[in-house]
Structure 1
Amino acid sequence: MALYRVGNSKELDYNMDNRDSKHGKLLPCTEDRIDSGLDSLKDEEYNGIVNEMERLKMNPAEATADYCNEPWKLELTEDGDTLLHLAIIHEATDYATKMIEHSRNDPFLNTQNNQRQTPLHLAVIMEQPQIVDRLLKAGCDPRMVDECGNTALHIACKKGSLHCFSVLTQGCTQQLPSILATTNYNGHNCLHLVSIHGFLSLVERLIELGADINAQEQCNGRTPLHLAVDLQNLDLVRLLISKGANVNSLTYGGYTPYHLTYGRQNMEIQQHLYELTAQELRDLPESEDEESDEEPLSEEDDQMYDDFLWMGQK
């Protein structure tokens, strides 16, 4: 059985650290698998898993009797992977299909490993649209998120996986509105991700599916149009404007997309947005320092605070 490794991917300036809510620590956010899933297994454990997977080839009559206890669903590696996770990682499609067929509407399909990845997450990462389709039809939950807050659709958008994207959007129509509104732990929804990575066809498709074209990312309030200016992507700027993006939208700091053209090279983007931006919003907002009318403390004012005591002394 060949080993497949899926490397880390980072989002350049847009990737933020994941925060551990329990301990308040910042942890690096890794959205893809960084190990094969079998590296941590001992030889006897590996052989045991192979034997369990071989049992999936039995005929239907034997399967009905043997699957009553379903001990194979309880097998976990040190990484928290089930046999289904491993079958997807190693592209053992026949094994994965058999396990999915015997797990319809079973919570087993939503088992999360130590990276909180479900089999659906891994099927998208490993570019297996047929397995994605089988998982959805078998009752897995496409709203579940991994340790970085990404649904399977978030991952498909980040990778630009057209086949998995199509299967997911067609196979979870009821849950789709909530998924499109979901932001990962970097504050990005699906439309933000395809905008950042410049997948124009997916941008257009998401808008057609009901994604909010003016949704603000949670870190500083940039809309997809702000992101397009940041990335100096003229085609994306034009597409978003043609689809009704609000050129007067403001970030949390009060900046329009036009403001973000200052100091950037593409003058065509700047001119285009200048003409569309409301006149009263063309000037850069004043900084807090400029708005502040407070005078520095005088020596007399400073003396007002010299009566603090520390361990009985001034």
Structure 2
Amino acid sequence: MEPSGRAKGKFESEENRTDSVIDSGIDSFRSLPRDEPRLSGAAGSSAPGEQDKLSGGDERLDSAYGSSSIVDNLSEIIPDKCSISGTLSSQNTEENTEDEEEEEENLLTTVTEDGDTIVHLVIIHEYKAAAYDLISILPKEVLDIQNNLYQTPMHLAVYLNQPDVVKLLKENGACLELQDQDGNTPLHVACEHGRLECANEMILDSSPTKLVQVFETQNWRGLTCLHVATLHKQHRLMKLLMKKGVDLNIQEGTSGKTALHIAVELHDNEAVALLLIKGANVDAAMLNGCTALHLAVGRQDATITTRLCQAGADKMIRNMEDETALDLADGNDDILALFPFDDIQIMGRTVGVNF
């Protein structure tokens, strides 16, 4: 499936888009205000274990992560003397020439060979003050530009756990629905990596209509945000989505699993309990007809089987293979003993079962 919705509005052609800054007479600009970059695991940056991903290699998650040319030559992309202010003016407005204004505009609209805008870059390298200034003055169309991996600045701010930047992006109209090369929205990223504060900033004060659209968006694996949060055992994220009215019974797009099916497959008793308490349909069926009880019995998970039975799971539902959950017990006495009944019906006839 091809990624959709790549933002438009890149202001320069492919041939010369990286040249406008380098050749623009950068000596006429002031220095960028910046916080100290934290690229070596300082507190508040990426979570433990993710620094390796930021350092490059085949698993890098962003076009600029691990790019030594970006890190080493950041001064060429963000000049040492660059003016970023609410009025896009130099310290001495009277001395700011028309050429300088044009050069400054070029800086703000330039993209790198990886498709990153200056907004992407200041977020990646945690130039917080510059990020605040840029987000406050640039139009929504620029804030929604996607790089070569279809990531918006919002995607990067969430991945790098910058809730304050996420908040500012949202307040200035950044889109929550745009999808990266894997089909993930920024909220998908938050649900995968446990970015609770970022997710809260995206969801906070959003209209119910907008939230439904975000909650129903599937990535290229067919997973919604609730499926992703369940898959990665992000229970706090699951609770946040539930609080905002996410559909607990929404099915993923490949096999029709609900979050309850996924939780059962993972033997995640806590997630199963949470979903059932909040009202998930215990008898929801996948495309192959299997309910959560089929999966629990098939995996010989006595704890979850018991919980599903206590929640009223129908033991006689048949899947596409014409099997009930009892059939899948396959003579396992421990599992069979969990079924709280003394007889069953087969084709309308009562058959006694001795446990």
The 3-state SS of whatever aligns with 2:171 is helix
CA distance in 2, matches of 1:52, 1:147: 33
Match of residue 17 from structure 1: none
Given that residues 214 and 246 in structure 1 are in contact (C-alpha distance below 8 angstroms), is that contact kept between their aligned partners in structure 2? yes
TM-score calculated relative to the size of structure 2:
0.67
CA distance in 1, matches of 2:148, 2:188: 19
CA distance in 2, matches of 1:163, 1:42: 28
Identity value in percent? 33
Match of residue 314 from structure 2: 278
CA displacement, residues 63-93 of structure 1 (integer Å, 9 cap, x when unaligned): 7876676111232222111111110001110
Match of residue 247 from structure 1: 282
Which structure has more relative contact order (CA 8 Å, sep 6+)? It is 2
CA displacement, residues 278-302 of structure 1 (integer Å, 9 cap, x when unaligned): 2431x565269xxxxxxxxxxxxxx
The 3-state SS of whatever aligns with 2:221 is coil
- C-alpha RMSD of the superposition: 3.0
CA displacement, residues 4-55 of structure 1 (integer Å, 9 cap, x when unaligned): 675559xxxxxxxxxxxxxxxxxxx978326437523597x64332316732
Match of residue 164 from structure 1: 198
- Given candidates 209, 215, 223, the residue that maps to 2:250 is 215
Could you say if the C-alpha distance between residues 91 and 53 of structure 1 is closer, same or farther in structure 2, counting changes exceeding 3 Å?
farther
Give the residue type in structure 1 aligned to 2:221. Answer: N
CA distance in 2, matches of 1:40, 1:52: 16
> Cα offset for 1:136?
0.9
CA distance in 2, matches of 1:123, 1:89: 8
Could you say if the C-alpha distance between residues 187 and 71 of structure 1 is closer, same or farther in structure 2, counting changes exceeding 3 Å?
same
CA distance in 2, matches of 1:42, 1:165: 28
Match of residue 49 from structure 1: 77
CA distance in 2, matches of 1:31, 1:182: 24
The 3-state SS of whatever aligns with 1:51 is coil
1:264 equivalent in alignment to 2:299? yes
Given that residues 296 and 304 in structure 2 are in contact (C-alpha distance below 8 angstroms), is that contact kept between their aligned partners in structure 1? yes
Given that residues 225 and 237 in structure 1 are in contact (C-alpha distance below 8 angstroms), is that contact kept between their aligned partners in structure 2? yes
CA distance in 1, matches of 2:65, 2:156: 11
TM-score calculated relative to the size of structure 1:
0.75
Could you say if the C-alpha distance between residues 137 and 110 of structure 1 is closer, same or farther in structure 2, counting changes exceeding 3 Å?
same
Give the residue type in structure 2 aligned to 1:164. Answer: C
Given that residues 154 and 189 in structure 1 are in contact (C-alpha distance below 8 angstroms), is that contact kept between their aligned partners in structure 2? yes
1:72 equivalent in alignment to 2:107? yes
Q: How does 1:1-314 map to 2 (within 5 A)?
A: 3=39, 32-33=61-62, 35-36=64-65, 38-41=67-70, 46-51=74-79, 54-56=82-84, 62=90, 70-103=105-138, 105-173=139-207, 175-275=210-310, 276-281=312-317, 285-286=320-321
> Cα offset for 1:268?
1.5
> Cα offset for 1:143?
1.1
CA distance in 2, matches of 1:250, 1:155: 27
CA distance in 2, matches of 1:42, 1:7: 15
CA distance in 2, matches of 1:154, 1:224: 14
Query: For structure 1, which segment, 227-236 or 67-76, has the greater mean C-alpha deviation from structure 2 after superposition?
Result: 67-76
Given that residues 251 and 257 in structure 2 are in contact (C-alpha distance below 8 angstroms), is that contact kept between their aligned partners in structure 1? yes
CA distance in 1, matches of 2:84, 2:202: 27
The 3-state SS of whatever aligns with 2:292 is coil
Given that residues 88 and 119 in structure 1 are in contact (C-alpha distance below 8 angstroms), is that contact kept between their aligned partners in structure 2? yes
Could you say if the C-alpha distance between residues 61 and 32 of structure 1 is closer, same or farther in structure 2, counting changes exceeding 3 Å?
closer
Given that residues 89 and 101 in structure 2 are in contact (C-alpha distance below 8 angstroms), is that contact kept between their aligned partners in structure 1? no
CA distance in 1, matches of 2:293, 2:123: 45
CA distance in 2, matches of 1:140, 1:277: 43
The 3-state SS of whatever aligns with 1:71 is helix
Could you tell me which runs of 5 or more consecutive residues in structure 1 were left unpaired when the two chains were aligned.
Answer: 10-28, 289-314
CA distance in 1, matches of 2:86, 2:313: 67
Given that residues 159 and 190 in structure 2 are in contact (C-alpha distance below 8 angstroms), is that contact kept between their aligned partners in structure 1? yes
Match of residue 21 from structure 1: none
CA displacement, residues 217-263 of structure 1 (integer Å, 9 cap, x when unaligned): 11101101111110001111111111111111110111010000134
Give the residue type in structure 2 aligned to 1:71. Answer: N
Give the residue type in structure 2 aligned to 1:56. Answer: I
CA distance in 2, matches of 1:278, 1:272: 13
> Cα offset for 1:176?
1.5
